[in-house]
DNA sequence: TTTTATTTGTCCGTATGTATC
DNA sequence: GGATACATACGGACAAATAAA
């Protein structure tokens, strides 16, 4: 393995361990070079690799600073996980961890504007970026309007594509409510975080072009890895 | 700490932990009293306190039901705590818990578009609704542009009024980033929540009518008591 | 305000090992 | 084997931006 890669890994682990705190300055290139017994240019190559991945930010005349990089996740009218995360250059993935049919309780009936006790399809999704899980989400669909959607989703791996099969060409965000909780064992295991770590909980309803609710979602994001950005 | 307060806290945390789910019925007063080994009236005092804060709703002859209505907090171009919470019919309060002058680090300098090391006024605020703390906030102001703002704030008890003294007639939200953390001892004490409970962390920058940044704020909301509502 | 030191960015060149044609 | 291209590593010099005196 090349020298600069080893040095980049060393620095990355120092950041992960907290030896270098986010927002603080890295030692100068010359100092790092002396510490590792290499030339300054070798250190520069290592730092360039970290900067490319957004872990540090170099400022000429000032120093190189450690970024606390949570992936920005903009909330807009049109909010699609794969478009947002994929568009930011990450490899997007999604997995259907469970699905079931259940009766709509009062809250769900109101949110999706359907009758109380009406059949709902519940999909449990796990979405990740660069193989790292970001979000465990529960999505509810009207089982009458979207029969067999679970099977379609398993093939499509995309809510957008699955809904398109039922003629929903576009859907937009109607309401977004954000709060926070701490992770229980279930979500912690799925998201690969420790129990008790913070989750961003986003409850949302999406509507089709006829203003009819099509989707209710509760997305639980690993707050350590992501921040919501609200565009105004 | 009084018995009924301890019991109220226990019940509140059971709700927060999800042991008692929103919409379901609490155990009867007598049952709770036996569980804690206290008189029924002590439990009644605890439940009354929770009901006052809107966490539960007692129905004669039926039972006590968990509301857990988080106060909705809309995020808009114009976002003012007192207007939002006060407009929703709550009694708003704010307290300056600390203030200091510090040098701007790289992050702050960039956010407020001032020079690195420039003097910043830091205000620590505790905002509450109906005597319940909702939010611990840290606000940074350019100390050169707003000299003595801490003293003015102590009198005004409002950022909006304090800035108006310096000719800032209106300011609007430029950026809003939302993430979540768990409460440490400091914030937990101020917000009267247990250590480890979730916080909604909102980092924002406000600009004046000349598009110059005037305010950088990190607001830490008790996530158990509030939810952000994003208007699109 | 000016000067000086520090730090990153860019350019030059040299040498070595490795993979490919 | 030989020629070529490429990545890696080292050394030096200077420019540009910043911080501190």
Tens digit of pLDDT for each residue in B82-92?
899 998 888 89
Give the per-residue pLDDT at B232: 64
Comparison of pLDDT for A52 and A170, the residue scoring more: A170
Mark yes or no for CB contact B228/A182 under 8 Å: no
Separation between Cα atoms, residue A76 and residue B24, nearest integer Å: 34
Residues 6+ apart with CB under 8 A from A168: A208, A214
Walk me through the domains of chain A, giving residue ranges and CATH numbers.
3-66 (1.10.10.10), 71-230 (3.40.1410.10)
Q: Is the CB of A25 under 7 A from strand D?
A: no
Q: How confident is the model at residue B180 (pLDDT cuts 50, 70, 90)?
A: very high
Report the nucleotide nearest the CA of residue A5, measured to C1'.
Answer: D8
Task: Provide, in whole angstroms, the distance separating residue A47's CA from nucleotide C16's C1'.
Answer: 23
- Give residue-wise pLDDT tens across range A72-115: 899 988 888 989 898 887 889 999 999 999 988 777 888 999 98
Average pLDDT over residues B50-76: 78
- Give residue-wise pLDDT tens across range A153-170: 999 889 999 999 999 989
Kindly identify which residue of chain A lies nearest to residue B108, measuring between CA atoms. A23
Q: Is the CB of A4 under 7 A from strand D?
A: yes
Does residue B1 surpass a pLDDT of 70? no
């Amino acid at each position: 393995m090349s020298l600069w890669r080893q040095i980049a890994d060393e620095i990355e682990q120092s950041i992960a361990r907290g030896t270098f705190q986010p927002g603080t300055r890295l030692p100068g290139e010359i100092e790092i070079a002396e510490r590792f017994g290499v030339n300054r240019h070798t250190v520069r190559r290592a730092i360039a690799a970290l900067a490319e991945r957004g872990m540090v930010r170099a400022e000429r005349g000032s120093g190189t600073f450690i970024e606390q990089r949570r992936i920005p996740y903009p909330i807009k009218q049109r909010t699609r996980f794969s478009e947002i995360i994929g568009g930011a250059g990450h490899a997007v993935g999604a997995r259907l961890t469970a699905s079931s049919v259940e009766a709509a309780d009062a809250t769900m009936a109101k949110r999706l504007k359907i009758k109380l006790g009406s059949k709902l399809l519940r999909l449990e999704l796990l979405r990740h970026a660069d193989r790292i899980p970001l979000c465990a989400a529960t999505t509810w669909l009207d089982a009458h309007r979207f029969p067999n959607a679970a099977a379609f989703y398993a093939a499509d791996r995309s809510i957008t594509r699955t809904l398109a099969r039922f003629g929903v060409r576009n859907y937009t965000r109607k309401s977004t409510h954000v709060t926070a909780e701490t992770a229980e064992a279930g979500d912690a295991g799925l998201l690969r975080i420790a129990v008790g770590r913070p989750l961003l909980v986003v409850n949302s309803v999406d509507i089709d072009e006829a203003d009819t609710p099509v989707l209710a979602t509760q997305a639980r994001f690993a707050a350590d890895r992501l921040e919501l950005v609200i565009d105004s």
